[in-house]
Amino acid sequence: MVTARARDEGQAFPIYVVAVTGLLFAAFAFVVVGMAGATRSDAQGAADAAALAAAQEARDNAFEGMNPLTLTQGDWERILRGDRLVAVGACAKADTFAAMNDATATCEPNIPEFTVSVTTIGTVGDSVIPGSEAIHGRAEATAVIESRCSLKPGATPTPTPTPTPTPSSTPPPGGGDAGTPPSVEFRCKGGVALTFDPTKPGSLTQLARKLFSVRLTD
């Protein structure tokens, strides 16, 4: 009787070992899946940040090289449509933000959109699953620049040529300058009114941020 029981226990022991080994492997595999998910999440975060950085750089430089005093109504309409946006420096900004998130980036500008693909420098790491130490996180994100405003109906921000002064000329009514362009009036989302005085432009970067928004696409 004792011999039979010992024989049964001896036969069951290998089954226990196999079962425990299987459970341990499953547990380690589950951990690897979690590590892979975390790496993928890191990649997506880096891609989102890099794409937004590229679009914001292009948006902030919307008035680069322009003189507000010389802009006509047609110029303002092209600006608000995004026709004057340029990608200079935008992809370099994407590279910088990707590096800050321990990743490398490939930037594809298609104004007003910027698509950035990133690869994490780090990997999933060594694990029970062969090859995991060579698996990098990869992700892609696209950010778009959108106009928030339009010219107020009836606005005519066209500079008036300055007349040649003569000894007999008299100042315009109110003491204004006949060559001074009128203020530019905008209607923005949410019913917000915005007035811009070309003679006192202030920060054109701040103006660009009021006229355009940047968001990630779905």
For 76-100, how does the pLDDT look when each residue is reduced to its tens digit (9 = 90+)?
Answer: 999 999 999 999 999 999 999 999 9
Distance in angstroms (rounded) separating the CA atoms of residues 72 and 82: 16
The pTM of the full predicted model, rounded to 2 decimals, is 0.71
Q: Is the pLDDT of residue 23 over 80?
A: no
Report, in angstroms and rounded to the nearest whole number, the Rg of the chain calculated over CA atoms: 31
pLDDT of 129 over the 80 cut: no
